[in-house]
């Protein structure tokens, strides 16, 4: 499909819809897709209507199941849907109705995991394009320090750093703001500090031990910060 249209559809919470509106919108969606074939239909947050069906008691459940049934019907009627590809996204594939996942419907699942270090660097470049940084800030170093961060986490990181820089009267983000933002995202807001000198010393010895072991272990990532 070198040249095709892309239709993006997001399901609203069924309880907020009037009866039959969801099913009607699904019919309209596939009608437009057929008229514009070849076409990719992308359904975001499909778990809003695609959850495992229950007893059907309650208006919200009834409306959701009507919408789901219409979606299943449209996907079954693909004789005239040549050139239409349907893709859906969800963070909860485990709760989807089994009828959605049978062969001929959403039978191929692709897991989109959190980005690797290269992916994090590319994402950071996008969100850093409209911000000013001091010369001591390296996006590659930030990528190394943020394993497990999603794209949203990385965007939030730079946003937090920009807010901190503004509060401190700076015109550019420095490594100090980056450090503090990473700590805030990973460990949360700063809590009550320990006033007991002995407790502080014990924690310091413990953390320094981690740092020494990491530094002396061949192939271990370089120690960036000891807290």
For residue 17, what are the contacts with CB-CB under 8 A and spacing of at least 6?
Answer: 63, 67
Pick the closest to residue 101 from 114, 112, 116, 90 (CA basis).
Answer: 90
Q: In the structure, how many helices (H) and strands (E) does the chain have?
A: 8, 3
Contact 198, 178 (CB under 8 A): no
C-alpha–C-alpha distance, residues 19 and 203, integer Å: 60
DSSP string, 121-155: HHHHHHHHTTS-B-TT--HHHHHHT-TT--HHHHH
Main-chain dihedrals φ then ψ at residue 4, nearest 5 degrees: -155, 160
207 is known as an active-site residue = yes
Contacts of 56 (CB under 8 A, 6+ apart): 62, 65
CA distance 174 to 179: 9
- The active-site residue out of 13, 122, 140, 207 is 207
Q: Do the beta carbons of residue 87 and residue 41 sit within 8 Å?
A: yes
Q: Which residues are catalytic?
A: 207
């Amino acid at each position: 499909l070198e040249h095709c249209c892309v239709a993006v559809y997001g399901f609203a919470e069924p309880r907020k819809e009037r009866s039959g509106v969801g099913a009607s919108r699904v019919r309209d969606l596939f009608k437009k897709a057929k008229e514009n074939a070849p076409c990719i239909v992308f359904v975001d947050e499909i778990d809003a209507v695609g959850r495992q069906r229950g007893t059907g008691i309650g208006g919200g459940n009834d409306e959701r199941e009507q919408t789901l049934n219409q979606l299943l019907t449209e996907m079954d009627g693909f004789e005239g849907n040549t050139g239409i590809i349907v893709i859906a996204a969800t963070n909860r594939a485990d709760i989807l109705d089994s009828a959605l996942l049978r062969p001929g419907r959403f039978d191929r699942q692709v897991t989109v995991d959190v980005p690797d270090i290269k992916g994090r660097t590319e994402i950071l470049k996008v969100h850093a394009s409209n911000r000013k940084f001091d010369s001591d800030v390296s996006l590659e170093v930030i990528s190394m320090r943020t394993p497990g961060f999603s794209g949203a986490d990385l965007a939030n990181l730079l946003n937090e750093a920009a807010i901190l820089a503004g509060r401190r009267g700076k015109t550019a983000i420095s490594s100090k703001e980056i450090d503090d933002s990473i700590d805030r995202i990973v460990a949360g807001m700063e809590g009550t500090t320990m006033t007991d000198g002995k407790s502080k010393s014990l924690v310091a010895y413990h953390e320094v031990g981690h740092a020494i072991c990491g530094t002396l272990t061949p192939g271990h990532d370089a120690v960036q910060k000891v807290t």
